[in-house]
């Protein structure tokens, strides 16, 4: 889906609309999870929208460069 957003969405309006809806669903799901974290006192409530966009950008970046024939190495920090 992410590669379609990058390669096709601007050229075909119907695809652009679907990819926009997909992007929005991801952002809403992330915001809902972050809202739960804020209610639990795990994060500051005022950072939810920014965090959702940041996580979405990181996710889409990973999906854009990942190929099914290659695995992703996970690096643990801390």
Q: Per-residue pLDDT tens for 25-40?
A: 998 999 999 999 999 9
The domain ranges of the chain are 2-65
- Contact between 1 and 19 under an 8 Å Cβ cutoff? The reply is yes
The predicted-structure confidence for 42-65, as pLDDT tens digits, reads as follows 999 999 999 998 999 898 888 777
Global model pTM greater than 0.85: no
What is the pLDDT confidence band of residue 72, given thresholds at 50, 70 and 90?
Answer: low
The two tokens of residue 78 are 């801390």
The two tokens of residue 50 are 């920014």
C-alpha closest to that of 23 among 41, 45, 5: 5
C-alpha closest to that of 7 among 57, 70, 76, 63: 63
Sole residue written with tokens 């929005």 = 24
């Amino acid at each position: 889906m992410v590669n379609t957003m990058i390669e096709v969405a601007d050229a075909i309006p119907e695809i652009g609309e679907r990819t926009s809806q997909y992007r929005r669903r991801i952002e809403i799901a992330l915001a809902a999870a972050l809202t739960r974290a804020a209610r639990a006192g795990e994060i500051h409530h005022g950072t939810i929208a920014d965090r959702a966009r940041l996580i979405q950008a990181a996710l889409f970046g990973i999906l854009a460069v990942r190929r099914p024939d290659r695995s992703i190495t996970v690096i643990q920090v801390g």
